[in-house]
Amino acid sequence: MSTKSRVSRVSGTRPKSARPRRSHVPYLLLLPALLLELLIHLVPMAMGILMSFRGLTQFFIRDWSRAPWTGWANYELVLDVNRPVGEALLRSFLTTCLFTLLSVGLCWLLGTAAAVFMQESFRGRGLLRALFLVPYALPVYAAVITWAFMFQRDNGLVNHVLHDQLGLGGSGHTFWLLGDNSFWALLTVSVWKGWPFAFLIVTAALQNIPGELYEAAALDGAGIWQQISRITLPSVGAVNQVLVLVLFLWTFNDFNTPFVLFGKAAPEAADLISLHIYQSSFVTWNFGTGSAMSVLLLLFLLLATAGYLLVTTRGRRNGHG
Amino acid sequence: MRRTRAAAAAVTASLLAAATACGGGTANTGGGSDTAPKELTYWASNQGPDLAADQATLTPELKKFEERTGIKVKLEVVPWSDLLNRILAATASGQGPDVLNIGNTWSSSLQATGALLPWNAENFGAIGGKDRFVESAIGSSGATGQDPAAVPLYSMAYALYYNKKMFQEAGIAKPPATWDEMVTIGRQLSKDGKWALGAEGANLSNNIHQAFVLAKQHGADFFDAAGKPTFDSPGAVGAVKQYVDLMAKDKIIAPGNAEYAQNQSLQDFANGKTAMVLWQSAASSFKSHGMKEGDWGVAPVPVPAGGAPGPGGNTNSMVAGINLAVFKNTDNIDGSLKFVKFMTSDEEQKILNKTYGSIPPVKAAQSDPAFATDDLTVLRTTLGTSAAPLPQVPQESQFETAVGTAVKELFADAAAGRPVTTESVKAKLTKAQQQMAS
């Protein structure tokens, strides 16, 4: 615990002995952050969980300690898929799952492809890289409200280009913000907004792959696809693990995009879960039910994340072994 | 291992960020006090064309108040999209303004939270008495049988605005007075890319206002006497169907209006794309879109055949308007009452309502000639004779969301060419009612 002599031997060849020195100082330095973390994150979370067991409606928000305890009633209500509230939540959940799957997949694919292309140096590479990052750097509201205008049926750019310029799908304009098409509109905006992040992270990861590896592979006769699948992808595997996870969590929880695009009540086809929860609590002033839904969402995300980490980490370790 | 640890850290951080969203406020049980007698915070709603216009209108008046009483008023104009959430947050935390504007339809819902100062006889006495206000306006300031949660500040009513030039070109002498005439005239006007009537199909509140009035005309209410929702009664179904049918069956509303929620229908009206809109106090908006006084005419909203606007089945508007409320947690109760008295004084009522194109809910202020223009006479008469307050029940805001969404979805069906039948309307309204049960 308190040996000083080991420090000097860190540079030795045996990695086993290269343990960092144990001391209380790092923990002391971390303590303020830890306390703040508790205060800012864990306490509100605990309150959220408490709220989910109460009948917290507009009658009690002024002093919510007076709200009656309702036990599992909120959970029974939102989990009963044979009644409208539970049914709507389930549908919203499934929509969100499909949406997340497609959005994360496309973001990752586009980001990785662009990053691999940008690896070669050519004229204007810096400019293109900067351009690619614009959607990520724009304020969400400004970007999404622009899309909302572009998707308008009568005066929107999207319909103008598709129907009037390209003549696709006849001359009748399509509704993008109403009905089933709203899913695709939402997906488009989400991918547009999300892929630069994937691009950025993969680009950074690619910097760490030594050029000699590619040269050696090329000498051995590996083609471009083999280089990508044998060198590039395995080298960025660890980064991808985190990247996909973070994209998943962000997309699954995305509130801003559907809210700005559709307002308080999204069409069924694009009713993402976070917006659904907002509607169930803030708009209808039933905070207990909303909290119960939030807790369920949190549980699902925890389980999904734990499962994902377990599977991917073991898979990679075996692969290396 | 280290990788996993880093990943776990990243994940924990993201999860926490996600879960914080469900955090709540703290308990607070303060009452009014007088600990800060020289200062007031006032949240104004957005009444002018934009927030800056409201600042410009209100600041000189607040200066006047400061000169007279020595109380400095800190003004914040809150956009409509934020106002209700801000009030809820203020209620939950106990940290709010001293005086605030609320949409009068929220009165009962907010009254139920207990966050607003009840206007009992004593408080009304401090501002000159309840009798100074128009009765219908007082009727939409809280649940019946309880002390009002707010006092009326600006009153508005729905009217039929029509484009005079388009009517002239089509050879139509006068605006429709009944719904049958509306449909007949509407079919004449809807051609060559122009449409007769504008609607805000994705604007939940507006949908509610229209559905409420039509329900009255069908002899139905969305809540029964006990305050229980009755959304899918035959009358309510007929009312919603009649409204959506203006697009689905009569085809006098452009399908594109189904996605309007940002007052695009007013823009279309100003650009001569639609000939009529049903709107409340729209004059200043038309002007800001480039129309000139005299380009449009104003008439009462149509009623069922054979009737004239009046109470009951011939109701043709909700009592729209803004109320002024005092936050119970205020630290300057005395100053707050003085401020409400100032804002509802005859003089200020005239100045402010003139600027905003609304009707003063204070009887004495209504006699000013500024409120005798054609526009305002229609609105004033409507308010006085044929306007009814929206249901004054605590669940009012849930009702707006649930039924407003149902109407929005029906408009989406109509726009996409899917049939809108009595059954499909009833199904949507039944679903909306089931959501209220939770």
Could you read off the pLDDT of B152-165 as tens digits, one per residue? 999 999 999 999 99
CATH code, residues A94-206+235-320: 1.10.3720.10
Residue B317 CA to its chain's centroid (Å): 12
pLDDT of residue B14: 46
Average pLDDT over residues A192-216: 90
Separation CA A275–CA A24 (nearest Å): 45
- Locate tokens 């990247």: which residue? A243
Quickly state the pLDDT bin for A21 (edges 50, 70, 90): low
Note the pLDDT of residue A232: 86
Do the Cβ atoms of B3 and A313 come within 8 Å? yes
Any chain A CB within 8 A of the CB of B19?
yes
Sheet bearing B99-103, strands edge to edge: B72-78, B39-45, B99-103, B320-326, B151-156
Q: Is B129 left (phi over 0), alpha (psi -120 to 50) or beta?
A: left
CA-CA distances (angstroms) from residue A204 to A81, A197, A199, A235, A242? 45, 11, 9, 12, 13
**What domains are there in chain B, each with its CATH number?**
39-156+320-388 (3.40.190.10), 158-318+392-436 (3.40.190.10)
Nearest CA in chain B to A306: B8
Helix axes A237-252, B2-19, angle to 10 degrees: 10
Question: Do B172 and B182 touch, CB atoms closer than 8 A?
Answer: no
Degrees (nearest 5) of the Cα angle B194, B178, B282? 60
At what angle are helices B346-356 and B51-69 packed, to 10 degrees? 170
Query: What is the pLDDT at residue A319?
Result: 52
SS3 category, A54: strand
Calpha distance B247→B236 (Å, rounded): 18
Residues 6+ apart with CB under 8 A from A315: none
Sign of CA dihedral B399, B400, B401, B405: positive
Query: Are the beta carbons of A175 and B24 separated by less than 8 Å?
Result: no
Q: Mark yes or no for CB contact A286/B405 under 8 Å.
A: no
Sign of the dihedral defined by the CA atoms of residues B164, B170, B174, B179, in that order:
negative
**What is the pLDDT confidence band of residue B17, given thresholds at 50, 70 and 90?**
very low
Tell me if chain A has a CB within 8 Å of the CB of B24.
yes
Asked if the Cβ–Cβ distance from B259 to A59 is below 8 Å, we say no
CA pair distance A90, A85, nearest whole angstrom: 9
Q: pLDDT tens, A223-261?
A: 888 888 888 888 888 899 999 999 999 999 999 999 999
- Chain A, 33 to 72: residues with Cβ < 8 Å from chain B are 37, 40-45, 47-48, 51-52, 56, 58-59, 61-65
pLDDT in tens, B55-78: 999 999 999 999 999 999 999 999
pLDDT for position B24? 36
pLDDT tens digits, residue range B256-290?
A: 999 998 788 999 999 999 999 999 888 888 988 89
CA B406/CA B241 separation, integer angstroms: 11
Q: What is the ipTM of this complex?
A: 0.72
* Gap between the Cα atoms of A69 and B431, Å rounded: 27
For residue B329, which phi and psi values (nearest 5 degrees)? -80, 5
Cross-strand pairs, B45? B78
Helices (DSSP H) in A220-286: which residue ranges?
224-227, 233-235, 237-252, 256-262, 273-278
Q: Is the pLDDT of residue B137 over 80?
A: yes
- Kindly report the nearest CA distance between residue A145 and chain B, in angstroms: 12
Mean pLDDT of A200-204: 92
- The Cα A133–Cα A215 span in angstroms is 30
Q: Which residue of B has its CA nearest to A173?
A: B256
Specify the 3-state DSSP secondary structure of B372: helix
Tokens 């050519």: give the residue.
A122
pLDDT in the model for residue B1: 42
- Chain B segment 102-121 residues within 8 A of A by beta carbon are 109-110, 112-115
Residue A26 or residue B69, greater confidence: B69
Mean pLDDT confidence for B357-363? 92
Q: What pLDDT score does A18 carry?
A: 52
Q: What is the mean pLDDT of chain A?
A: 85
- Contact (CB<8Å) B27/A64: yes
